């Protein structure tokens, strides 16, 4: 059964209008590249960079990050985003670990305009084992040379701190 939090996170994911950005080295191994995006799309969102399968990214969810309530007034919490691409179609697992209750959503970016994006939620998870493991784990099939956005967030404003995101 999907709870209020799940619906709110879906609304966040579906409502994001500018979530992607590039890091300083936009090319990955093989044929994976991260094309430049319009500045208006990059500005103002907590995009931490790009990621490839095999990477482990680290971050800190804090009150200085983006606020979910700015996107969806019915929800609360802070979030960060990673942009992901693959060279070949494959199942990819996103494994978040932290000392706080985290949440993951994976979005497929359908199109990008000068000021926003159209994206579809393709996977999400709150707790991999409710009551005993509040870390999120999502496995989805990714297609080559398509942008995906991975949202890492806390359950609410109290859920902050360091996290790692393994991409395998």
Residue 30 confidence (pLDDT):
60
User: Residue 4 and residue 2: Cα distance in Å, rounded?
Assistant: 7
Q: What are 86's two structure tokens? A: 């693959």
Among residues 28, 56, 52, 50, the alpha carbon closest in space to that of 37 is found at 50
Residue 4 confidence (pLDDT):
42
């870390």: which residue's tokens? 135
Instruction: Indicate if the alpha-carbon torsion angle 121, 127, 129, 131 is positive or negative.
Output: negative
Q: 15 in helix, strand or coil? A: helix
Count of residues making up the chain: 168
Residue 39 confidence (pLDDT):
74
Residue 42 confidence (pLDDT):
66
pTM (two decimals): 0.80
Q: Which tens digit of pLDDT belongs to each residue from 109-135?
A: 898 788 777 889 999 999 988 778 999
Q: What are 71's two structure tokens? A: 């996107």
Residue 9 confidence (pLDDT):
52
Query: Which CATH number do you get for residue 133?
Result: 2.60.120.380
Note whether 56 and 166 are within 8 A (CB): yes
Look at the chain and report how many structural domains it folds into.
1
**Spatial CB neighbours of 52, under 8 Å, sequence gap ≥ 6:** 28, 29, 32, 84, 85, 86, 167
Residue 37 confidence (pLDDT):
74
Question: What pairing do the DSSP bridges indicate for beta strands 47-51 and 78-84?
Answer: parallel
How confident is the prediction along the chain (168 residues), in pLDDT tens digits per residue? 334 454 445 545 544 433 443 333 333 446 889 888 777 766 656 778 899 999 999 999 999 998 988 877 888 899 999 999 999 999 999 999 999 999 999 999 898 788 777 889 999 999 988 778 999 999 999 999 899 999 999 989 999 999 999 999
User: Residue 64 and residue 67: Cα distance in Å, rounded?
Assistant: 8
Full residue range of the structural domain in which residue 30 is found: 4-167
């Amino acid at each position: 059964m999907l709870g209020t939090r799940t619906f709110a996170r879906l609304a966040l994911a579906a409502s994001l209008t500018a979530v992607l950005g590039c890091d300083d080295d936009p090319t990955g191994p093989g044929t994976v590249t991260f094309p430049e995006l319009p500045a208006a799309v990059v500005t103002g969102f907590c995009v931490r960079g790009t990621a490839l399968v095999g990477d482990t990214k680290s971050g800190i969810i804090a009150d200085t990050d983006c606020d979910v309530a700015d996107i969806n007034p019915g929800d609360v919490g802070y979030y960060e985003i990673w942009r992901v691409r693959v060279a070949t179609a494959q199942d990819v697992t996103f494994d978040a670990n932290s000392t706080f209750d985290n949440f993951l959503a994976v979005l497929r970016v359908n199109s990008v305009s000068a000021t926003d994006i159209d994206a579809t939620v393709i996977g999400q998870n709150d707790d991999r084992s409710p009551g005993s493991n509040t870390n999120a784990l999502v496995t989805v099939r990714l297609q080559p040379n398509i942008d995906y956005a991975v949202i890492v967030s806390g359950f609410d404003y109290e859920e902050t701190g360091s996290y790692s995101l393994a991409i395998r």
